[in-house]
Amino acid sequence: MSGPGVTAGRTVAGNGARAGGKDDPLYQTPVGDADNHGQVVLQWSEFTLTPGGPPDVELTRGGPVGYPGIHVDSDVEVAPATVSVTLPSDRGLLFGTQTLADYQLTVQDPSGQTTPHMGKLSEDGATLVFSDVDLNLPGTAVMWVAVSAGHNAPLGATSLAFTVAGKPSPSTTVVVTPAYDVTPGGGPVTAERGGAPVYPGVEVRNNGSQAIPLQTVTAALPDALNMQFGTPDNPDHQLTVWDANHNTTVYMGNLSDDGQVLTFSHVDLGTPAAGSRSVMWVAVSASDATPPGATRVEFSVGDRLSPSTTINVI
């Protein structure tokens, strides 16, 4: 079997009243059997699709857009096609950003020229459809969309689903990264057994996120070391935040029944811009029964975890 655009065609002979090619997954019973019409199955590879990249597209939660896409390769001309792009389900990605939607597909043809195409958004907000997209093939074309990660987007790798004229391909790998990092804050502090409180804490750094929501913060004392928040005579259940603008805010916490964990709700991290930093701390003391040595308070800030400044008990 041959003809324009047909490669490696084959004709499968039947056997008596029984059609040939019944092992083909596209065969439909009883096509080709006695007294039935024959079947022509056309399978072709007019163009190939591959994910864009490397590198991966990194998206900071609540941050700016990135541009995942695909490559389209063909040795022949390809008619204008319908293209659809679907966000992964339950991954918290957006076309554009939370404040500025972007429903555009950009196509770079083999000559390097780019053409924007406006898409139609599905009712569920998950898919954009673009009609009559001319790839100007043969050669290699590249297409991409603008997406961002919401503040609650799960961390890790995912991808968008592109379809060109019914042919699917995943996009460039998209990696969602934290809106902020939490690390131990400052140098070690020294706590004397039975003495005054010290102030271990953590530092928070904005990774490029906008309008980070208020967070829940916890501070947990080390297990079985007989330490307390404040002192036995003067408990202190406060969290102090020193923000990027050098302003101090104090939050009152709720103490767990076992006295080991303080929880603070609706905490403003005080890091409004990319690269800005804040520091937060609590007051702790060592009792006469606390063994000497190095230890730490364990902080959680949202879903990020970090030990505090080192506490040297003497």
Pair 239, 232: CB distance under 8 Å: no
Eight-class DSSP state of 15: B
Find the length of the chain: 314
pLDDT of residue 152: 95
Classify each residue of 111-144 as buried b or exposed e, where b means 16 or more C-beta atoms within 10 Å of its C-beta.
eeeeeebebeeeeeeebbbbeebebbbeebbbbb
Rounded to whole angstroms, how far apart are CA atoms 22 and 28? 8
pLDDT digits (tens, 9 = 90+) for 146-196: 999 999 999 999 999 999 999 999 999 999 999 999 999 989 999 999 999
pLDDT score of 3: 45
For residue 10, what are the CA distances in angstroms to 1, 57, 228?
A: 5, 43, 81
pLDDT number for residue 34: 67
46-50 contacts, C-beta under 8 A, 24 or more apart: 46/5, 46/74, 46/76, 46/78, 47/72, 47/73, 47/74, 47/78, 47/135, 47/137, 47/164, 47/167, 48/72, 48/73, 48/74, 49/73, 49/162, 49/164, 49/167, 49/168, 49/169, 50/169
Please tell me the distance from the alpha carbon of residue 77 to that of residue 106, in angstroms, as a whole number: 19
- pLDDT for res 143: 98
Q: Whole-model pTM? A: 0.82
Which parts of the chain sit beneath pLDDT 70? 1-13, 17, 19-28, 31-32, 34-45
Tokens of 85: 């792009």
pLDDT value of position 29: 74
Task: Give the pLDDT confidence score for residue 38 in this predicted structure.
Answer: 60
For the chain, which domains are there? Answer: 16-45 (no CATH), 48-177 (2.60.40.740), 180-313 (2.60.40.740)
Look at residue 110 in the predicted model and tell me its pLDDT.
96
Under DSSP, is residue 220 helix (H, G, I), strand (E, B) or coil?
A: strand
Q: What is the pairing mode between strands 104-108 and 93-95?
A: unpaired
